[in-house]
Chains A and B, each alone.
Chain A
Amino acid sequence: MVTRLVYCNENDNVTIEEVVAGNGALENLKELGIYLQDKISVIEGCRSNGPIYISKDERKIAIGRGLAEKVLVNSIADATIPLSKIKVGDKVEVVKMNSSGEIRYRLLDMGLVKGVKLKILRVAPLGDPVEVEMDGFNISLRLNEAESILVKPVEIEKNKRKRFSIFS
């Protein structure tokens, strides 16, 4: 399926599919020697907050995080990612809940069980918490609460988000 480069696992072999940003981003990639439909393999960095290292034809290339978030790839591997790392607009499915204590019960009671589909609606103006939609029911979660919910991406938001749009 099509997923974001940042959602991949280490050692996944993927094909560059699309860049959901302006032409500038595509140019940047080209400068790094990466073109659409290239086959690359991910080395490391997907779960960090820093750049992502990939290899193409035995060559190791670092892609900045901001750019890597906009690169969509085709991957056959399933990846599980903490909900806190998911970008706005993407749809995911809950795989596992690692949270414990009261938060776990609260989430379960609100319907956050395995198999439920979630969509990140928005991030609060100050960057935390996030608003998550599940079947027409919107909840807000702090990032540290979202971190212990493991999800797999189902559908990637492909619309190039306008940076300064009032309607975010």
Chain B
Amino acid sequence: MRKINEKDLAYFLNDEQSVHPNLEKTKQILVALAGNPNSGKTSLFNKLVGANQRVGNWAGVTVERYEGSTFYQDYQIKIIDLPGTYSLTTYSPEEVIARNFIVEEKPDVVINVLDSTNLERNLFLTTQLIDIQANLIVALNMIDEVESQETKIDFDQLEKLLGIHIVPTSAVKEIGIEELFQHVVDLYTGKIEAKHNKLIFSDLSEYLIEKLISIINTDKELSEKYYPRWLALKLLVNDKVIYEMMHSRPIWIKIHKVLEEAIQKVGKEFDSDPEMLLKEERYSFIRGAIKETVSYKPKTKRSTTEIIDSLLINRITGLPIFALFMWGIFQGTFRLGEIPMTWIESLFGELSTIAIKFIPDGIGRSIIVDGVIAGVGGVLVFLPNIMILFLALSFLEGTGYMARAAFVIDKVMHKFGLHGKSFIPMITGFGCSVPAFMATRTLKSESDRITTLLVIPFMSCGAKFPVYVLIAGTFFDHNSAGNVLFGIYLLGVVLALISARLMKSILFKDMSEPFVMELPPYRMPTFKTLMFQMWFRASQYLRKAGTIILFASVLIWLASNFPKNEKIEIKFQSEIQNVKRDNLISAQEKETKMQLLELKKNSAQLENSAVGQIGKMLEPLVQPLGFDWKLGISIVTGIAAKEIIVSTMGTLYALGDGENNSNALREKLLSNENYNKSVALAFLVFILLYIPCFAASIVFHREAGKWKWTLFYGVYTMSAAWIMAFITYNVSKLFFGN
């Protein structure tokens, strides 16, 4: 994984070199942005580097890595936006990433972004950054909000107390950007001194810290690589990573003794433990610093956030408003998204017509038109959904409503082992699994995210709807067809919730995920940030998933068209020729007969193709469900895209896939003596539950990040589909008879 990152980096630099040929002369400064979630770090990052940024993943985890670069004076300033954290312990992947980057990569400058309206909370991270002895600059962000609140901050005094350079900034009002760059450059060139202050704890803590430092100093290798005081502090707070690193070393015996002494002494004197004590001391230092430097104007009226909250999440209107927002997102994503989707579809339709005009008939044309053009269209068609959904999601995230949405619905979701934030990805699943899988990124904890990803396939996606309509409408009368449809959707939801519960208690048994989260003040996200978020998702989808989807769809097209059986071709061609030569029938009759033969030929070819053969091979597997090989093939092609299921049936019954053929298809299905209500129900259940389309599966793999999960996802959906269809078939046989 590491290698890929470096390659990425090299590519990134090359990119820059082509734009700025003088790069050899300029020096690069590596800057890391660290800060709490909701501190306006992302907005500031966008302001600092503009569009010149790229997003990737941190090695091995699905946490996004934003990096960008810009030029200031003679320097190329490369900025890494570390994940937002409240602390630098090791309890979440975000924290580990942020910490490792600062400790291991040793960036030239670390900019700690603070929400100035909430210094007490934000300075906690600052004290930990001081411990690491990073070259720190504090950006007092959102300074405009502080000023409008008439709070006064004594910058000089705060700078003195913390021993760090402070720059007041505001990403929204564009305050302090220039100064921030100047500080970075000055700190790098040594024009201003990097102050390495340290936080002084209580006598007991200092005694313990000193004792540990003197032991650590005897280990040269360790004390040269890491700052000993930081190690000492981390040992006292029981840090697992540091513990693992140290306990195989010879000095561990001595360290262990001191740690035992620490637990004993702190327990005796403070009725606490070292970890709690240090945290409390940090906070009392922060409180002292704030008392000395910040003068708050007493609040006279309710803040805007309080007023909005009392409207949006109170006990009576909270749920209806939540439902309204969710409905809005869903409708926006899929109804509004439909418009550009039809444009994309018609554009690619045009392209095919043009291609057909210019390329002579044959396999080559078929590959380009039905394979490549249709494939690219199939990738792009998801773009409107993804863009609208992520615009809405980043708006909710940016304003602060996302956390409230989780707050409102969490009780229900928690009952099934899910998180309040699982709700949005799950309802998005009713539209399409592709954006739904991508939306799980709002979930921070691994177990919540994986569980949500795994149950989304059971939320019946929009592309399955035509299949339901066809099958239910064919085998059930007008009244009960609606009930069957409803039942299918309900079954999906119930199974999703039960599965979530099971997975949480079996797969993630030992993980207790804290729900506690900040409900940040309402803010208006900057337009730029929204656009970036939206564009990043779209480009990520295109680059990472799109290429594979395209490749796969060409492959699937090949599999359903090849191998061509020459005998079938010749047989039908000769029959068509016979009809053509037949002078006894009218021209119109001739035409219909020829068309019918053409369709029969296609049907026979599909049956003979790789997909058809697979479908036939699978017959013994689907026979217990009451399916024949025709349904088997439909299921196989459905893996390419659920939309194809109905048209495959059309082809198999030699009907073509035109709209007016759906009645004919119904008749064919009804007249087939193998099919009855039980088979129809089992087929519906199978379609509902089995593996989502290929595009979705690829996106799943991208989001889940591990082959283990993708494999589990495939096996789980397939076996759930088979088992439930088997039960449905056998139970409904009791009701409907054979």
Q: Which of A's residues lie within 8 Å of B, judged by CB?
A: 97, 101-103, 105-111, 113-116, 121-129, 131, 135-142, 145, 164, 166-168
- Nearest Cβ in chain B — how far from A133, in angstroms? 9
Known: A109-B86, A166-B311. A131 touches B280 (CB 8 A): no
**B315 within 8 Å of A by Cβ?**
yes
B733 to chain A, nearest CB (A): 41
Whether the Cβ atoms of A142 and B120 lie closer than 8 Å is: no
- Nearest Cβ on chain A to B112's Cβ, whole angstroms: 15
Q: Which residue of B lies closest to A103 (CB)?
A: B514
Can you list 12 A-B contacts (CB < 8 A)?
Answer: A102-B513, A107-B514, A122-B313, A124-B318, A126-B319, A131-B313, A137-B120, A138-B521, A141-B515, A141-B516, A142-B414, A168-B310
B517 interface residue per 8 A CB criterion: yes
A102 to B410: give the CA distance in the assembly, Å.
19
CB contact list, B513-536 vs A, under 8 A: 513-521
CB contact under 8 A between A140 and B515, given known A109-B87, A113-B280, A124-B318: yes
Indicate if the CB atoms of A113 and B518 lie closer than 8 Å.
no
Distance in angstroms between the alpha carbons of A123 and B411 in the assembled complex: 11
Q: Is B121 an interface residue (CB 8 A)?
A: yes
- Contact A127 B411, CB 8 Å, known A110-B516, A145-B515: yes
Given contacts A105-B91, A129-B407, A140-B519, contact A110 B86 (CB under 8 A): yes
Shortest Cβ distance from A8 into chain B, in angstroms? Answer: 24
State A97–B77 Cα separation when bound (angstroms): 44
Are A139 and B519 closer than 8 Å at their CB atoms?
A: yes
Q: How far is the CA of A110 from the CA of B282 in the complex (A)?
A: 12
User: Does any Cβ of A come within 8 Å of B314's Cβ?
Assistant: yes
How long is the Cα–Cα vector from A122 to B407 in the complex, in angstroms? 11
Residue of B117, B309, B516 near A145 (CB, 8 A) is B516
Select one of A107, A135, A168 contacting B516, CB under 8 A: A107
Chain B contact surface mostly: helix
A166–B317 CB distance below 8 A: yes
A167 and B124 CA atoms in complex are apart in Å by 34
User: Chain A contacts of B514 at CB under 8 A?
Assistant: 102-103, 106-107, 145
Least CB distance, A117 to chain B, in whole angstroms: 12
Expressed in whole angstroms, the minimum distance between the Cβ of B110 and any Cβ of chain A is 18
Residue B279 is within 8 A (CB to CB) of chain A in the complex: yes
Q: Is B241 an interface residue (CB 8 A)?
A: no
CB–CB B410/A124 < 8 A: yes
B660 at the interface (CB under 8 A from A): no
Chain B interface size band reads 35 or more
The reply to whether B310 and A167 contact each other, CB–CB distance below 8 Å, is yes
Given the known interface contacts A103-B512, A111-B283, A140-B519, the answer about A123 and B89 at a Cβ–Cβ threshold of 8 Å is: no
Does B412 belong to the interface (CB within 8 Å)?
A: yes
Chain A proximity of B316: nearest CB distance (Å): 6
A135 proximity list for chain B (CB < 8 A): 120
With a CB–CB cut-off of 8 A, which chain A residues contact B519? 131, 138-140
Q: Which residues of B contact A (CB under 8 A)?
A: 86-87, 89, 91, 117-118, 120-121, 124, 272, 275-276, 279-280, 283, 305, 309-311, 313-319, 403, 406-412, 414, 512-521
Say how far A164's CB is from chain B's closest CB, in angstroms.
8
Kindly state the separation between the CA atoms of A151 and B514 in the bound complex, as whole angstroms.
20
Q: In the complex, what's the smallest C-beta–C-beta distance from B211 to chain A, in angstroms?
A: 24
Residues of A within 8 A of B410 (CB): 124, 126, 128-129, 140, 142
For B88, the closest partner residue in chain A by CB is A109
Chain A residues lying within 8 Å of B91, measured Cβ to Cβ, are 102, 105-106
* Given A102-B513, A126-B408, A139-B519, 9 new contacts (CB under 8 A): A107-B514, A109-B86, A110-B121, A127-B411, A138-B518, A138-B520, A139-B517, A140-B403, A168-B315
- How far apart are B380's CB and chain A's nearest CB, in angstroms? 39
User: In the complex, which of the residues B275, B279, B406, B513 has the most CB atoms of chain A within 10 Å of its own CB atom?
Assistant: B279
Question: Which partner residue on chain B sits nearest A142 by CB separation?
Answer: B515
Query: In the complex, how many angstroms separate the beta carbon of B695 from the nearest chain A beta carbon?
Result: 35
Residues B518 and A110 in contact, CB atoms below 8 Å apart: yes
Lowest 6 A-B CB distances belong to which pairs? A109-B87, A103-B514, A125-B318, A126-B411, A168-B314, A138-B519
Contact B279 A106, beta carbon cutoff 8 Å? no
CA distance A98 to B605 in the complex (A): 70
In the bound complex, what is the Cα–Cα distance between A103 and B92 (angstroms)? 11
Cβ of B321 to closest chain A Cβ, rounded Å: 10
B141 CB to nearest chain A CB (Å): 16
Which residue of chain A has its CB nearest to the CB of B406?
A140
Contact between A129 and B411, CB atoms less than 8 A apart: yes
- Asked whether, in the complex, the Cβ of B121 is within 8 Å of the Cβ of A137, the reply is yes
Q: Which residues of B contact A122 (CB under 8 A)?
A: 309, 313-315
Which residue of A has the minimal Cβ distance to B296?
A: A136
CA distance A168 to B410 in the complex (A): 19
CA distance A166 to B312 in the complex (A): 10
Contact A124 B513 (CB under 8 A): no
Q: What is the CB-to-nearest-CB distance from B145 to chain A, in angstroms, rounded to a whole number?
A: 12
Q: Give the distance in Å from the alpha carbon of A124 to the alpha carbon of B275 in the complex.
A: 32
Q: Are A131 and B407 in contact (CB under 8 A)?
A: yes
Closest Cβ of chain B to A103, distance in Å, is 4
Q: In the assembly, what is the distance between CA of A21 and CA of B583, in Å?
A: 98
In the complex, A36→B512 CA distance in Å?
47
Contact of B314 among A115, A127, A145, A166 (CB under 8 A): A166
Rounded to whole angstroms, the CA-CA distance of A71 and B72 in the bound complex is: 66
The residue on A at minimum CB distance from B117 is A136
CB-defined contacts of A167 to chain B, threshold 8 Å: 310-311, 314
Assess the A113–B315 pair: CB atoms within 8 A: no
Q: Which residue of A lies closest to B310 (CB)?
A: A167
Q: Please name the residue on chain A nearest to B125 by beta carbon.
A: A109
Name which residue of chain A comes closest to B512, CB basis. Answer: A101
Tell me if A129 and B515 are in contact (CB < 8 A): yes
CA distance A123 to B276 in the complex (A): 28
Residues on the B chain within 8 Å of A107, using CB: 514, 516
Query: A106 near B516 (CB under 8 angstroms)?
Result: yes
Q: B118 to chain A: which residues have CB within 8 Å?
A: 136-137
Whether B412 lies near A126 (C-beta < 8 A) is: yes
Q: Which residues of A contact B305 (CB under 8 A)?
A: 138
Contact yes or no, B517 A140, CB < 8 A: yes
Q: Tell me the minimal C-beta distance from B87 to chain A in angstroms.
A: 4
Measured CB to CB, the nearest residue on chain B to A114 is B280
Q: How far is it, in angstroms, between the C-alpha of A123 and the C-alpha of B89 when the chains are bound?
A: 30
Q: How far is the CA of A110 from the CA of B89 in the complex (A)?
A: 12
Closest chain B residue, CB of each to CB of A128: B411
Question: Do the beta carbons of A108 and B513 come within 8 Å of each other?
Answer: no
A115 to B406, CA, bound (A): 28
B513's nearest neighbour on chain A, judged by CB, is: A102
> In the complex, A119 Cα to B118 Cα: how many Å?
17
Q: Which of A102, A107, A125, A129 has the most CB of B within 10 A?
A: A125
Most chain A beta-carbon neighbours within 10 Å: one of B407, B409, B410? B407
Bound-state Cα–Cα, A114 to B412, Å? 32
Most central of A105, A109, A129 by chain B CB within 10 Å: A109
For the complex formed, measure the closest distance between the CB of A149 and the CB atoms of chain B, giving whole angstroms: 10
Residue of B nearest to A135 (CB): B120
Q: In the complex, what's the smallest C-beta–C-beta distance from B131 to chain A, in angstroms?
A: 14
Q: B515 — which chain A residues lie within 8 A by C-beta?
A: 129, 140-142, 145
Q: Which residues from chain B contact A145 at a C-beta distance below 8 Å?
A: 514-516
Cβ contact of B279, chosen from A108, A124, A136, A168, cutoff 8 A: A108
Q: How far apart sit A168 and B309, CA to CA, in the bound complex (Å)?
A: 9
In the bound assembly, the distance between CA atoms of A123 and B313 in angstroms comes to: 9
| A113→B279 contact, CB < 8 A | yes
Whole-angstrom distance between the Cβ of B273 and the nearest chain A Cβ: 11
B-side contacts of A137, CB under 8 Å = 118, 120-121, 518
**Given the complex of chains A and B, what is the CA–CA distance between A115 and B284 in angstroms?**
10
A76 to B89, CA, bound (A): 41
- Let me know if A113 and B276 touch, CB within 8 A: yes
A107 closest partner in B (C-beta): B516
